[in-house]
Amino acid sequence: MAEYNSQPLITAAQEFAKLPGIGLKTAQRLAYYILNAPEEEVEQFASGILRARRSMKLCSVCQNICNTDKCDICSDSRRNHKVICVVESPKDVSAIERSGGFDGVYHVLHGLLSPMNSIGPQQLKIKELMARLSDTDEVIMATSPTIEGEATATYLSRMIKQLGVKVTRLAYGLPAGASLEYADDVTLQRALENRNEI
């Protein structure tokens, strides 16, 4: 027998189901919540999201999401503007900032090279990166250690080295708290290759 649902429920659930990682069940649960919430609350929700989207800009320097012309990190004179950390997405900036291990600036590519999904250099913020390297000491490639992350790092490092700028890559090895027993072969190989004297 077909699913019985009323029209307002179907409409709301369909909208939620468009979001990534939200399946049919979760979408229905959220739709029920929205239909039972006071109308002002739903208005606030809808307008808040729309406002956020409309106020969104990309920093003219590092291409990170912000609501001004230049983001807080790029405007911060206490940071080292000669070291640029290249990341895939704004999420990665949050992650590295949370770690507290970096005081340079960032460059957000907004994606990785992926011929399979027809994402080439033109689709990424590579032109903007190359344009800001004149006074740079080091570029840290902080893309994920996946096939696409590696390919993007290799592609960019070749271009950047031609400008005489030092290029580094995040270290490979065992994650903190990991158990040797469960580490995969590639990670173990790399941890051995890159072993340090203690």
Q: What residue ranges bind its own copies (CB under 8 A)?
A: 1, 3-9, 11-12, 14-16, 18-22, 26, 28-37, 39, 41-57, 64-67, 71-73, 89-91, 93-94, 97-100, 110
| Vertex 163: Cα angle to 104 and 141 (nearest 5) | 40
Beta-sheet strand order (sheet of 138-141): 104-108, 80-87, 138-141, 166-169
| Residue 126, φ and ψ in degrees, nearest 5 | -85, -40
Cα–Cα dist 190/129, whole Å = 29
Nearer to its own copies, 119 or 133 (CB): 119
Nearer to its own copies, 48 or 145 (CB): 48
- State the nearest-atom distance from the C-beta of 168 to its own copies, in Å: 22
Sign of CA dihedral 87, 93, 96, 102: positive
- State the nearest-atom distance from the C-beta of 61 to its own copies, in Å: 13
Nearer to its own copies, 55 or 146 (CB): 55
- State the nearest-atom distance from the C-beta of 26 to its own copies, in Å: 7
- State the nearest-atom distance from the C-beta of 152 to its own copies, in Å: 18
